[in-house]
Structure 1
């Protein structure tokens, strides 16, 4: 729904995919840009009026135009046409030239030809299949309103996981380590106080390699390591090395977090331990923890959903 601040209707605004080529052209002309500056430049280049930009979703109060440009950037990132060289910045990606060479506005169908987009869709399908437990797709004519809401929430959460992973994989290793500590603090480790975990020493490989309190009293301790990788998987040798660090530190429990993935061999090794407990957390799982404990994400709106109170309409006493 729209706010009444402007008489302009949503159909008068470009669809999100219609912002893809204007965004590419802006980045082609200016090079690397801060996300907000690029968005403003796209608005200017497309000739949208202040009244159009002021149109907002009634539930969130966010600009529809800016939201759609954000979605355009997300799809272009997935297709490898936009890259994030650093936090909150955009630049042209490896596949941008192909879209700009079309001589016409790029469409979603054009993105499907890129291997990066195909791989992303395959991962989404695999994740969806894993989460469905074999159930039929609920988006059908037989779906209840509640089921459609849940499907929408799942789609939004999956998209947020992808965005978080993109940022985690491109941030500085030290920044990734701080984020790991923030999540652990939000989960209650170290007594839930980030300051109590500032003294964790850095290992020789640049990753966190130290102990944190499992509880506020420090009756038990956990060894922790965080490795920020863009693509490389963490294999068994690295996990075994971490286990050696646990032995040296006298800890029987450990948490190993990476922004990428663990190999099957590494997971088998960790799950096969008998005298120690070692939890491996890969990028997607860590992103979900960030969402669950609201670290690095914002709650943009809460939508109340009513249900009939049968007791209210019961027989009067």
Structure 2
């Protein structure tokens, strides 16, 4: 299970794992990271299915990642200590803190501890251009991966709207070239025979692309620019009929709008392998394969190199 909104699925927030972590470590054992995380997830009641959920931005397992941030906070507050590489143990301060907080606690409780401020980064604020410094928004309920995913989702949504608007307003020939280029970039076709436009005698098919290296199978393309109206079942059946005329087995129908339920049923019941790509999915593929888009900024996320300190 990947690339979903992990908060809506019911995975506890990162700070909600701090208490289970301390409870697990309260036995005084030296806990290996993997065992500690697994035991904390068990105590928090996180199901096996939820443990398989991954962040879209990094591919990390969301629940395990949140436990990691909780462990980092407890280590910073000196409630947990690193015994050796990848092995942790509760401290005397951790035992006392757990006794004072037998139930759930938040980061604000850790921030009251003297040890917390020992690692606080002191930033020098320039007085010459104070307006150039961004406002830091405190969101303790969200871990960094949540924030990255949210920022990427908002950006992608904005870009997707712009892409579809440009395709709808542009020339129909440009739209057809775009979808053929997308398929070629996705790996369909070979050098020199990647794609070709069709002619008026091809039964309404807008393009053809090789499915394999030798060109033994071909994918026939239909591309319809719709603004508000959905592609209905009659339009899809006409496309299926064109595939029959070409004696084709594979087809992809692109649109900038959406499909009716009857249209989706018609494609599903067809004996041919037909894929319907609506506007939302088309924009997502263009963003993923960099068709009409480019990377504006790359952010590098660092973590401690355990090997360095071994």
Q: What is the TM-score with the length of structure 1 in the denominator?
A: 0.52
Give ranges in structure 1 of 5+ residues lacking alignment: 1-129
Q: 2:231 aligns with which of 230, 234, 238?
A: 234
Matches for 1:1-317 after TM superposition, within 5 Å: 131-132=4-5, 134-135=8-9, 141-191=140-190, 196-202=194-200, 208-273=205-270, 275-314=271-310
Tell me if structure 1 keeps the 8 A contact 2:231–2:263. Answer: yes
- The separation in 2 between residues aligned to 1:144 and 1:199, in whole angstroms, is 48
Shift of residue 296 of structure 1? 0.2
CA distance in 2, matches of 1:147, 1:188: 31
Contact 2:196 2:208 (C-alpha < 8 Å) held by counterparts: no
Q: CA deviation at 1:212?
A: 2.0
Higher-Rg structure is 2
Instruction: Note the C-alpha offset of 1:151.
Output: 1.0
* Cα separation, partners in 2 of 1:302 and 1:313, compared to 1, 3 Å: same
Q: CA deviation at 1:220?
A: 1.3
Matched residue, 1:11: none
Q: How many residues align?
A: 182
Give ranges in structure 2 of 5+ residues lacking alignment: 14-137
CA 1:312 to 1:277, structure 2 compared with 1: closer, same or farther past 3 Å?
Answer: same
Q: CA RMSD in A?
A: 2.6
Taking a change above 3 Å as real, the CA distance of residues 265 and 177 of structure 1, as seen in their structure-2 partners, is same
Q: CA deviation at 1:210?
A: 4.5
Aligned match of 1:112? none
| 1:240 aligned counterpart, secondary structure | helix
Between the aligned partners of 2:282 and 2:191, the Cα distance in structure 1 is 18
Q: How much has 1:157 moved relative to structure 2?
A: 0.9
Distance 1:175 1:223, change over 3 A: same
Task: Tell me the distance in 1 between the aligned counterparts of 2:258 and 2:149.
Answer: 27
What is the TM-score of this pair, normalised by structure 2?
0.54
